[in-house]
């Protein structure tokens, strides 16, 4: 009985701790969202090799970051800001690829890999009837 009681207490404590963590995650971050950082991570520095403007110290990137800061301060929406940079530098400037026919494979190939991998693992399992068959 003593063991059982300790087990129950253990489970209650575990569940309570997990509850706190889950509630914390649902309540979300207390820090204000940094829009410049999140949008800036999705805008490519045009003179760099595949880096975002927040990741590059180059003058072009710094200048673009300043434009971005002004636009965020002016209260423009994400979409408005993306449209502005797209218009000036072309579609390739946005590093967060949209879901559209051209990028279908980009999103589907990883999913296909997950599905294929799971299928391969499951197909390698010893089938239950075979297990009993061998045991007999």
Partner 1 sequence: MTAILGSIAVVVAFVSAAALAVRGFIAMRNGAIDVGSALKWPVYGVVGGALAAMSILEIAILRDDFSIEYIANNSATTTPTIFKVATGWAALEGSIVLWGLVLAIFVYTVHRQVSRAEGSDQLGAGALAVLGVITFFFFGLMLPGMSFWIFGVSNPFRVCVELATVGCFEASNLPWVESVTAFEGRGPNPLLQNHILMAVHPPMLYFGYVGMSVPYAFAMSALMLGMSGTAWLQRTRAWTLIAWGFLTLGIVLGGWWSYEVLGWGGYWAWDPVENASFLPWLIATAFLHSAVVQQRRGMLQAWNYVLVISTFALTILGTFLTRSGVIVSVHSFTQSPIGPALLWFLMAVLVVSFVLFATKIHLVASSPRLDSLVSREGVFLLNNLLLTVFAIVVLVGTLYPMFLEAFGGSEVGVGRPFFDRMAIPLSFALLLATGIGPVTPYRSAKGSVIWERVRTPARIALAAAALAVVLSYRNTYLLLGILTATFLMLVILRNLYYAARKTADQRKIAVPAAALHVMRSDTGYWGGQISHFGVALLALGMALSSNLAVEAEITLTPGDTDTVAGYDITYLNQFSRQEPHRFVTGAAIEVSRDGRVVSRQEPRLNDYSTSTQTVATPAVYESVRGDLYLSLRSINSQAVVLGVWWFPFIWLVWVGGLLAGLAVLWSRLVRKPARDKVPVPRAVGDER
Q: Which of 8, 9, 10, 63 binds partner 1 (CB under 8 A)?
A: 10
17 binds partner 1 (CB under 8 A): yes
Site for partner 1 in 95-134 (CB under 8 A): 95-97, 102-103, 105-106, 109-110, 113-114, 117-118, 121, 124-126, 130-131
SS3 90: coil
- Whole-number Å distance between alpha carbons of 116 and 107: 15
- Answer yes or no whether residue 50 interacts with partner 1 by CB under 8 A: yes
Q: Does 71 bind partner 1 (CB under 8 A)?
A: no
Tokens 């190939």 belong to 109
* Cβ contact 83:29 at 8 Å: no
The structure tokens listed for 14 are 């575990």
Q: How far is the CB of 114 from partner 1 (least distance, A)?
A: 5
Number of residues that bind partner 1 (CB under 8 A): 55
**Which residue from 86, 101, 106 is spatially nearest to 44, judged by alpha carbons?**
86
64 lies in the binding site for partner 1 (CB under 8 A): no
């Amino acid at each position: 009985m003593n063991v059982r009681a300790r087990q129950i207490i253990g489970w209650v404590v575990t569940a309570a701790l997990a509850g706190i963590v889950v509630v914390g995650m649902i309540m979300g971050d207390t820090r204000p969202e940094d829009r410049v950082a999140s949008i800036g991570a999705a805008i490519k520095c045009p003179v760099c090799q595949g880096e975002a403007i927040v990741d590059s110290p180059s003058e072009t990137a710094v200048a673009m970051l300043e434009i971005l800061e002004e636009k965020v301060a002016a209260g423009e929406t994400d979409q408005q800001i993306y449209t502005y940079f797209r218009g000036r530098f072309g579609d390739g400037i946005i590093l967060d690829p949209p879901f559209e026919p051209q990028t279908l494979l980009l999103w589907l190939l990883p999913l296909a890999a997950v599905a294929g991998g799971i299928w391969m693992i499951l197909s390698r399992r010893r089938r239950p009837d075979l297990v009993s068959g061998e045991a007999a």
